[in-house]
Amino acid sequence: MEIPSVVVLPLLIVVAAGLYYVYNEVLQFMSKSLVRNKVVVITDAVSGVGSECAQLFHKGGARLVLCGTSWDKLESLFDSLTSDADPKETFAPKLVILDFSDMESMEEVVAEVVECYGCVDVLVCNSSMKLKAPVQSVSLELNRNIMDINYFGPSTLAKGILPTMISRRSGHILLVNSIQGRLAVPFRSSYAASKHAAQAFFDCLRAEVEEYGISVSTISHTFINASAPEPGAKGEAKPGSLAAFIASTLTHGVSPSALANEIVRTVNRKRKEVLLAHPIPRVALHLRSLFPPLLFSVLAAGVKDSAMAEQM
């Protein structure tokens, strides 16, 4: 019996969606076993992305060290993780106060983080400070603060933990960066500069520590859209389905849960570089490399348009 040609395309789509769903289910199952018993340090764990990461790694059986600037928020996150958790399958997280704006405390913080379990298997540098302002209105003090939080802090923490990884000849350092570490946008001068610095540092670090069996990954994402529909929300396609994949490509920005899932996948697959962006930012990156004058003209025109709009 021959299958009518009009049915072939829908049938292929259904089969592809089924294979995609099974693939994601297998990856989710494997991710739990890959992080089990691993010591995972997450900075700014109380943020949207940080707490989503903590949930995923905790369910996977990782030994978490959660870092943040607020003890109350850290305790609240601790309670949410342990309230319904099975103590036979998960570990109670350890909490560490970490403030990258206080660089003088970094030596003590690094020692405290390492002392939690005696080693670190995975370091997720998630902290970030954003700023939107014209160049001339940003003070030197604010510039330094942004550089401390976005560059000096993560790089200092990575260097502090590095000796334990080198001695064990294993480890994974992951930087949650921004696409603005690769593409500068007007009115983000200080932010883009700090992200470019962090990107360059961790790119250099990757090459230097590869011989010790240490992996270094960077994830460059577009802006985090906390209002984006989370997977499983009412009316949303099931996570991992073909419909969810198509919807995600049409959504502006990236949700905290989507970024957290990408972080876990990157740790499991040890990917060196991930670009989590939609078509327009990707095209801009290619223009920056292939036709920079065109991109500069587009950006300048955008600044002029915004200035005219403010005057109207």
Q: Write down the catalytic residue from 20, 21, 23, 191.
A: 191
Classify residue 112 by burial, with Cβ atoms within 10 Å: 0-12, 13-18, 19+: middle
Quickly tell me which residue has 């607020």 as its tokens.
70
Q: Measuring CA to CA, how many Å separate 138 from each of 101, 150, 211?
A: 17, 16, 41
Catalytic residue status for 191? yes
Q: Which of 131, 181, 123 is nearest to 156 (CA)?
A: 123
Residues 6+ apart with CB under 8 A from 250: none
Q: How many Å apart are CA 222 and CA 179, to the nearest integer?
A: 6
Strands 273-276 and 63-68: unpaired
Contact 161, 96 (CB under 8 A): no
User: Which two structure tokens, joined as six digits, stand for 282?
Assistant: 């990707």
Contact 224, 254 (CB under 8 A): yes
Classify residue 290 by burial, with Cβ atoms within 10 Å: 0-12, 13-18, 19+: exposed
Q: Report, in angstroms and rounded to the nearest whole number, the Rg of the chain calculated over CA atoms.
A: 21
Q: How many Å apart are CA 245 and CA 232, to the nearest integer?
A: 13
Classify residue 248 by burial, with Cβ atoms within 10 Å: 0-12, 13-18, 19+: middle
As annotated, the active-site residues are 191
